[in-house]
Structure 1
Amino acid sequence: MRIIGGTLRGLRINPPQNLPVRPTTDLAKEALFNILQNQIDLDGIKVLDLFSGTGNISLEFASRGASLVQAVDRNQGGIIFLKDTAQKHRLENIKTFKADVFKYLDIESEKYDLIFADPPYDLNKIPEIPKIVFEKELLVTGGLLIVEHQSLQNLSGHPNFTDQRKYGHSSFSFFKAP
């Protein structure tokens, strides 16, 4: 894994091998950030990274100038790795929170410019993520929710759904706050 843009562009990230994660591939991540660069200014935005795993996406947003990246995952190893990596590279804009994502969403009241969710593909509650985010109004007006999921899964039934982009077995579904 590597950071593909921003102040840490080219930095290789080597998380511990024993983490129970499926990181977003560099190819899919590069495509995602190309899409985002054409839609929003990443500099100064507030990001919530759900199911943050290794912190691959959190580090990318922080490298590209996000003012705050709140990373949430229930795996202690991933949280420690992300916290240590952020400290090592002086990324004070990354905050970590060890928790079950759905329990975290129950208590979250902050509004974000962008929420990225990369849940385990076999999680049966994936369609609940957009429902919860929009019911709790966790996005600012015009804010984006992006859910990474298996390409076979279809999340287009949600009223805030705008687009789905497929990259092999992975897809990104985009939702926009009115």
Structure 2
Amino acid sequence: MSKSPTQQLRIIGGEWRSRRLRFPAVDGLRPTMDRVRETIFNWLQFDVAGARVLDAFAGSGALGIEALSRGAKDVVFLEKHPKAAIQLKDNLGTLNATHAQVWAGDALLWLQQNPQPFDLVFLDPPFGKNLLQPAIDALTLLPGALIYTEYETVLAPAWPANWQERKSKTTKEFCFRLFVVTD
């Protein structure tokens, strides 16, 4: 029996800096690139330590694992694809990440059933599935919460009135933005 192909990601900074982790080659799974993660965590350098983090549509878990490596208090990973969720659990075990939990199922369903607030939310849904807007609409956030979004440039999400943009970058293929909840 042949193993399914795997790919690797590298943790950029923090406790597990330079560690490499495997993730399955699953259709639509695209970990946030190293240089983009570096930019994001430069933006968040004073906000991650001690934060409660939600990595919705986690995929490889690159963003949430990076947050754990940099001192996040705990991270909830939401991942629908079974192979990706299993590998994410294995990777967290390899890192001995005790302040993390993986929920293997539909992120939108989880958001609707768990209206708990987080300090930092990563929203990087699979492209072409129209999941960003429903996820934005399902979030429960308190003032001061930070939200990172990554999405195709062709989308024009309706951002909530109380989300103030802190930083943003756009490439030909995608946009990434950091917001803070104002009230």
Structure 1 gap ranges (5+): none
**2:169 paired residue among 154, 165, 169:** 165
Q: Deviations over 1:85-140 (max 9, x none)?
A: 1111111111100111111111012211011111011122422322221xxxx223
* Residue from 57, 60, 66 that aligns with 2:72: 66
Once superposed, what is the RMSD of the aligned Cα atoms?
Answer: 1.7
Residue 14 of structure 1: how far off its partner (Å): 2.2
TM-score of the two chains, using structure 1 as the length reference: 0.88
CA distance in 1, matches of 2:84, 2:151: 20
The secondary structure found in structure 2 opposite 1:127 is helix
Q: Distance in 2 between matches of 1:113 and 1:152?
A: 28
Give, in angstroms, the shift of residue 10 of structure 1. 0.8
- Retained in 2: the 8 A contact 1:155–1:173? no
Partner of 1:25: 33
Q: Does 1:147 align with 2:149?
A: yes
Q: Aligned pairs, how many?
A: 172
TM-score between both structures, scaled by the size of structure 2: 0.86
Q: Percent same amino acid at aligned positions?
A: 30
Separation in 2, partners of 1:12, 1:141: 35
Q: How does 1:27-66 map to 2 (within 5 A)?
A: 27-37=35-45, 40-66=46-72
Q: Which moved more, 1:157-166 or 1:24-33?
A: 157-166
User: Residue in 2 aligned with 1:129?
Assistant: 135
Counterpart in the other structure of 1:2: 10
Q: 1:76 to 1:87 in 2, by over 3 A?
A: same
